[in-house]
Chains A and B, each alone.
Chain A
């Protein structure tokens, strides 16, 4: 594989039954019974298709070797976009593939009418685009808008609930499973069971509902938002500043993190985004900085606390009565306190261990390596960086989490990090550091490299990255202007970049649903498919986020799942998602398999199909499964869904 080197594949939680999404994915297996029945019923004769002829000589439909041809597209279409290597149709598709999540029915025509340059301008200014259709679809997902404090009070920690009910966590989970089974059985019995809802029933009222709603919202936004570039950048930045939903309390913080930290800054200033993540309870918790304190400061603090406690001891814990209280009341109170103290005693030795606290290097390191400059630091930098951010913590982490700076835990004095001298004092140490990092040329290069790798190709040309980095520095990290620089570069529109990226599982599922113009009522099963292909949403455990290059996503297991997904969606067996074949195919296609195939190529691949795929499928159009006879109808109908599924699973559709 002529591919660059990226991160090792992150493999987490697919087999983890405790993960709701994964558990739900297992439930999705049940769906296959349905598919099996539906498709299998049509099997009449075993007439095996001919063995495919070995590698036909390909008419160069689209190969890198094809001689460069220069296109002169009209100004009205391309404006100042430097497009010379792509045709008008190719440029349109390329824009929809990279700056959006692939074309939806009508998108290509809309761009051709409006002009590509104008469409891009509008995408770069998302506020100018009405997105009320999406807002309506998100209406049911009530947790999205809740502040963390509300989520924390509404969705009790399972451990706390078990304790309150006086049972063990396992018993609580067993009870819950039993209740869900009963509920589904009841629905089945009354004929009102909808398989698409099974996953929702399982998480209903539990903290996992937060994750389910987040995942559904992510799917719906990518599929239906008209502000497509905004959604692409949200996805990119969340992944860049990744937070893992299953680390402790972070699940409760995530809706607010995405809503208030990532989304508002996705096309804003990088420095604002960086600072928002640094102050977010989600990141402070995920990378442990909320616990990082200066060891010296902590010892000092502990002495103060001990002194205060000692003083309190003299009053026996009854100082709240005031210095002039009735001595009898004080005595009674002291006796009461002593009794309580005695009762508490057994727990104390364990509690004593909790007092030692100190520096934590986790955030300091990842702030440099992953968020800003890349791997250009020493261990001394990591320690100094951790000191800069001591005292950056979370106020009321389990009730009403908010950023707080606790000066008493901050390391005093000047620090040297990455050649910067930090001597602002207090919270200003960290603020100054973030400002320095955001404007560092290494950060500009690192961020622009990641953007170019995501939007252009796995190994982006260095001149392109340099040009973007220059704009990054000039505009003080204005993401919109950097994106504009990238889009207005010839590299973005090069033949080499065209259909060069392999779709991530998320890209694949979203683009397939968009291509079919399907109506998604319950997006959870789609999200589960994304997880099954190796990209469970919000569940990337390492802080570096999911990888962004082909070799991480092209593998046997994942490819099989991609094909299975394609057939499930095409044959309209995706719970919660309706594919309207009557809308997608013309009436004439029902009786004409060749025509149906043509229409599927047009709808899914915009006719960017290679001869290999075309020949393969055309050869098998007479198969009885494609031309199926129904029991009550002697006329044979074309199984359009199957054709659609096959085209959705084609090699061409794996790239964009």
Chain B
């Protein structure tokens, strides 16, 4: 009999964190439970097209270095002036992590973090806005889709009394990914998600006004708002203490992850969470180890590492996935930046993930191996990755509406990166 790590973890609660554990942390982890066990999917959208070739670096590709004379990340151990810290962190002898992602290296080693490379949308658009829409709608090339893939996935699960808080975006407005028939709400800031002043009269009046309006749009959003306020008002975000000494970066991204962790632990019925981060569009002075992109990756690394330790054993119920509208040119451009490209990377992280591996077929970076002579090819449709998470982790069986015209539910297509 094989004891899956999942079972093992459920029994010990702390096994996976052993490497970095501290006494206080151990006690907390022991005390914590995995809650109601509701499965959660957390989606990060990196807007602006992140340069995946500098996030997960194909350092064994000679072409990578000839194409990127000033912005390449040095091979492991060849960090020059910066020593070991200035070089890629080896993952598997071929790929390496950007050095500023050192905080998540342990997650990869512990098998919680997987990478998919050369993934993306089959649509050739290099327009940020079209490509984001296509990716979020889940229907590349189709402009008329008005709802998002994750919302349609939630429509598949029929619960007798679905929670208003099933789907939450940590942003002021609802992203297309979560728009649609299934209830989904935007919570920009938990600390301010309440009626200020004297709540009772104000709240009852507003609630009744919005319940009685003939304006269907306003009535729907109003109802969701009041239900959410009633539940979330009971949380006390000001006093929230991340577990296990986790320290989130004080960025928009760090703040969003922290609130998502709090919502997961509060068992409010959330199944899907969304957040995004911007500023990845580096046409100019992208930087290599240091620089603008390097700073954003520091934020990403610290955020994900804090999220994982804050969740503790609850990470068993969570799968985090990142995506970006497209990748960037394999060659650096004339301004030490990169232009809009095609294939990219995705991170998949969580207790159910078969991590510690870089998935996907690597198409290579030789001139004849590139997409339109300039970009990394897409060898894994991003919907294959999402589809596997939805099916194996979230238990969604029917993809006919989630990803129409895309057969993601054929197990042979899956990368087999999620334990089911």
Binding site for B on A (CB under 8 A): 1, 3-5, 7-17, 29, 32, 35-36, 38-40, 42-43, 46, 48-49, 52, 54-56, 58, 61-63, 288, 291-293, 295, 298, 353-354, 356-362, 365, 369, 375, 379, 382, 502, 532-534, 541-542, 544, 550-561, 563-564, 567-568, 571, 573, 610, 612-613, 615-617, 619-620, 623, 625-626, 642, 645-646, 649-652, 654-655
- Does any Cβ of A come within 8 Å of B284's Cβ? yes
CB < 8 Å neighbour of B126 from A16, A358, A365: A365
Minimum Cβ distance to chain B for residue A570 (Å): 10
B205 touches A556 (CB 8 A): no
B284 touches A360 (CB 8 A): yes
A36 touches B204 (CB 8 A): no
Please indicate the chain B residues that have their CB under 8 angstroms from the CB of A382 in the complex: 126
A356 touches B209 (CB 8 A): no
CB < 8 Å neighbour of A620 from B70, B128, B205, B278: B205
A625 touches B209 (CB 8 A): no
Given the interface pairs A5-B146, A288-B284, A651-B222, the reply to whether A17 lies near B205 with Cβ below 8 Å is no
CB < 8 Å neighbour of A9 from B174, B187, B197: B174
18 further A-B contacts with Cβ under 8 Å, apart from A5-B137, A52-B207, A541-B279, are A1-B216, A5-B143, A14-B171, A14-B172, A14-B188, A49-B205, A353-B336, A359-B334, A375-B127, A542-B47, A544-B128, A550-B217, A555-B186, A559-B222, A610-B213, A613-B209, A646-B202, A646-B209
Please indicate the chain B residues that have their CB under 8 angstroms from the CB of A56 in the complex: 212
B228 touches A613 (CB 8 A): no
- Does any Cβ of A come within 8 Å of B39's Cβ? no
Task: Give the distance in Å from the alpha carbon of A509 to the alpha carbon of B221 in the complex.
Answer: 19
Task: Give the distance in Å from the alpha carbon of A610 to the alpha carbon of B217 in the complex.
Answer: 15
Task: Give the distance in Å from the alpha carbon of A652 to the alpha carbon of B127 in the complex.
Answer: 37
Closest to A382 in B: B126
Minimum Cβ distance to chain B for residue A299 (Å): 11
A557 touches B146 (CB 8 A): no
A11 touches B171 (CB 8 A): yes
Write 9 A-B pairs (CB below 8 A) sorted by A numbering: A11-B252, A48-B204, A358-B335, A541-B278, A544-B128, A556-B174, A560-B195, A620-B204, A651-B222
Chain B, 251-297, CB within 8 A of any chain A CB = 251-252, 255-256, 276, 278-279, 283-284
Task: Give the distance in Å from the alpha carbon of A343 to the alpha carbon of B204 in the complex.
Answer: 73
- Does any Cβ of A come within 8 Å of B372's Cβ? yes
A615 touches B212 (CB 8 A): yes
Please indicate the chain A residues that have their CB under 8 angstroms from the CB of B200 in the complex: 43, 46, 48, 625
A558 touches B333 (CB 8 A): no
Given the interface pairs A5-B144, A356-B334, A646-B206, the reply to whether A63 lies near B214 with Cβ below 8 Å is yes
Task: Give the distance in Å from the alpha carbon of A353 to the alpha carbon of B252 in the complex.
Answer: 33
A15 touches B255 (CB 8 A): yes
A292 touches B335 (CB 8 A): yes
CB < 8 Å neighbour of B185 from A42, A359, A557, A620: A557
Task: Give the distance in Å from the alpha carbon of A628 to the alpha carbon of B211 in the complex.
Answer: 26
Task: Give the distance in Å from the alpha carbon of A27 to the alpha carbon of B201 in the complex.
Answer: 25
What is the interface residue range for chain B against chain A?
Answer: 35 or more
A14 touches B252 (CB 8 A): yes
CB < 8 Å neighbour of B334 from A357, A365, A649: A357
CB < 8 Å neighbour of A15 from B193, B251, B335: B251
B175 touches A8 (CB 8 A): yes
A55 touches B252 (CB 8 A): no
Minimum Cβ distance to chain A for residue B131 (Å): 11
- Does any Cβ of A come within 8 Å of B94's Cβ? no
B126 touches A3 (CB 8 A): no
A-B contact count (CB 8 A): 273
Please indicate the chain A residues that have their CB under 8 angstroms from the CB of B70 in the complex: 353, 356
A369 touches B187 (CB 8 A): no
Task: Give the distance in Å from the alpha carbon of A642 to the alpha carbon of B201 in the complex.
Answer: 10
B221 touches A554 (CB 8 A): yes
Please indicate the chain B residues that have their CB under 8 angstroms from the CB of A1 in the complex: 146, 216-217, 220
B205 touches A616 (CB 8 A): yes
Given the interface pairs A8-B133, A555-B173, A560-B193, the reply to whether A651 lies near B204 with Cβ below 8 Å is no
Given the interface pairs A29-B192, A291-B284, A379-B126, the reply to whether A646 lies near B205 with Cβ below 8 Å is yes
Please indicate the chain A residues that have their CB under 8 angstroms from the CB of B339 in the complex: 360-362
B198 touches A39 (CB 8 A): yes
Please indicate the chain A residues that have their CB under 8 angstroms from the CB of B130 in the complex: 375
Minimum Cβ distance to chain A for residue B307 (Å): 15
Task: Give the distance in Å from the alpha carbon of A617 to the alpha carbon of B205 in the complex.
Answer: 7
Given the interface pairs A291-B284, A542-B47, the reply to whether A8 lies near B176 with Cβ below 8 Å is yes
CB < 8 Å neighbour of B212 from A38, A55, A292, A358: A55
CB < 8 Å neighbour of B218 from A356, A379, A616, A654: A654
Task: Give the distance in Å from the alpha carbon of A4 to the alpha carbon of B69 in the complex.
Answer: 45
Minimum Cβ distance to chain B for residue A409 (Å): 10
B172 touches A651 (CB 8 A): no
Task: Give the distance in Å from the alpha carbon of A553 to the alpha carbon of B171 in the complex.
Answer: 12
A625 touches B143 (CB 8 A): no
Minimum Cβ distance to chain B for residue A458 (Å): 11
Please indicate the chain A residues that have their CB under 8 angstroms from the CB of B126 in the complex: 365, 379, 382
Minimum Cβ distance to chain B for residue A363 (Å): 9
- Contact flags (1/0) for B324-360 with A, using CB distance below 8 Å? 0000000001111101100000000000000000000
Task: Give the distance in Å from the alpha carbon of A45 to the alpha carbon of B278 in the complex.
Answer: 49
Please indicate the chain B residues that have their CB under 8 angstroms from the CB of A12 in the complex: 252, 278
B218 touches A554 (CB 8 A): yes
Task: Give the distance in Å from the alpha carbon of A291 to the alpha carbon of B283 in the complex.
Answer: 10
Task: Give the distance in Å from the alpha carbon of A620 to the alpha carbon of B203 in the complex.
Answer: 12
- Does any Cβ of A come within 8 Å of B132's Cβ? yes
A651 touches B284 (CB 8 A): no
Most buried by B among A291, A354, A642: A291
A534 touches B284 (CB 8 A): no
Closest to A294 in B: B334
Given the interface pairs A554-B221, A564-B196, the reply to whether A9 lies near B252 with Cβ below 8 Å is no
Minimum Cβ distance to chain A for residue B80 (Å): 10
A558 touches B196 (CB 8 A): no
Given the interface pairs A36-B197, A356-B334, A534-B188, the reply to whether A362 lies near B283 with Cβ below 8 Å is yes
Given the interface pairs A361-B283, A542-B47, A617-B205, the reply to whether A625 lies near B278 with Cβ below 8 Å is no
B173 touches A552 (CB 8 A): yes
- Does any Cβ of A come within 8 Å of B225's Cβ? yes
B172 touches A533 (CB 8 A): yes
Task: Give the distance in Å from the alpha carbon of A8 to the alpha carbon of B126 in the complex.
Answer: 16
Please indicate the chain B residues that have their CB under 8 angstroms from the CB of A568 in the complex: 196-197
Minimum Cβ distance to chain A for residue B67 (Å): 12
Closest to A612 in B: B212
A379 touches B209 (CB 8 A): no
- Does any Cβ of A come within 8 Å of B98's Cβ? no
Minimum Cβ distance to chain A for residue B212 (Å): 3
Task: Give the distance in Å from the alpha carbon of A570 to the alpha carbon of B225 in the complex.
Answer: 21
Task: Give the distance in Å from the alpha carbon of A343 to the alpha carbon of B90 in the complex.
Answer: 38
B146 touches A4 (CB 8 A): yes
Given the interface pairs A534-B172, A610-B214, A613-B212, the reply to whether A357 lies near B335 with Cβ below 8 Å is yes
Please indicate the chain A residues that have their CB under 8 angstroms from the CB of B192 in the complex: 29, 532, 561
B174 touches A560 (CB 8 A): no
A616 touches B127 (CB 8 A): no
- Does any Cβ of A come within 8 Å of B189's Cβ? yes
Closest to B225 in A: A556
Minimum Cβ distance to chain A for residue B193 (Å): 6
- Does any Cβ of A come within 8 Å of B136's Cβ? yes
Please indicate the chain A residues that have their CB under 8 angstroms from the CB of B398 in the complex: none
Chain B, 216-243, CB within 8 A of any chain A CB = 216-222, 224-225, 228-229
